[in-house]
A and B are shown apart, each in its own frame.
Chain A
Amino acid sequence: MSELLIYILSTLGAIFAMLAAIGILRMPDAFLRISVTTKAATLGVGLLLGAAALYFNDFSVSTRVQAIIIFIILTAPVGAHLIGRTSYFLGNKMWKNSVIDDLEGKYDKKNHKLLSEDVAEKNSREKKEEEKK
């Protein structure tokens, strides 16, 4: 019974890791690649570690595995957010079919501060008026 579960978990984990690898090769844009790495790879590695915990069936091993899984689940979104923010500042282009860029004009380009929506609108309006003059 537990052997069957190990078969299922390891197969699913390998499939998800493979999907993450294909995704990072095929996706057209840095932001979409980041999204693939965080979701599919986290699930795949969690399933593989779960297979290891089931196989050893030991208290010390399963606590260790739980610590690794929780650590990965906590840190993957944080790292993805940081690297995505950096990618936005470095001026990476979005995919040509992307629909909306919610952050456009809201970041101060010099000191990287996030402006509120009203201030950003006001700035763009002032810029337009200056161009008219």
Chain B
Amino acid sequence: MNLHDYLYYIILPILSLSSLVVFIRFLIGPGIVDRVVALDLVITIGIGIIAIYSIINDKPTFLDIATILALIAFLGTVAFAFYLEKRNKKDE
């Protein structure tokens, strides 16, 4: 078993299973905060999947997309936190 097969048949299934498990939490999560955190974690694991996928296909260009995904994950979390907090806040 060479490196390509190892990544393709062992590492990628582990990562996709974990993103599936996080998606279960996204569906059942009791509060909206749990859903935001689950979305953040799905995107973070997606960055790892992109890194492994770029090794398998021997194309380092895919890593640019990982950069942008990291940016979007952070912006999404901050925006959700900001507006959820604002919803219940009463200014003087």
Contacts and interface: CB of A to CB of B under 8 A. Distances in A.
B6 A30 contact: no
Given A21-B22, A61-B60, A112 B44 contact: no
**Range of interface residues on chain A?**
35 or more
B51 A25 contact: no
Given A71-B67, A82-B82, A86-B84, A33 B11 contact: no
Interface majority SS (helix, strand, loop, mixed), chain B: helix
B48 A83 contact: no
A24 B55 contact: no
Contacts of A82: 77-78, 81-82
Contacts, number: 170
A128 to B, nearest CB: 25
Contacts of B15: 14, 17-18
B85 A18 contact: no
Contact of B55 (A37, A51, A87, A92): A51
A115 interface: no
Given A52-B52, A83-B33, A68 B85 contact: no
Given A48-B48, A61-B63, A68-B47, A14 B85 contact: no
A24 B36 CA distance: 12
Interface residues of B, number: 52
A65 B37 contact: no
Contacts of B92: 110-111
Interface of A: 3, 6-7, 10-11, 13-15, 17-18, 20-22, 24-25, 30, 33-34, 37, 41-42, 44-45, 48-49, 51-52, 55-56, 58, 60-61, 64-65, 67-68, 71-72, 75-76, 78-79, 82-83, 85-87, 89-90, 92, 110-112
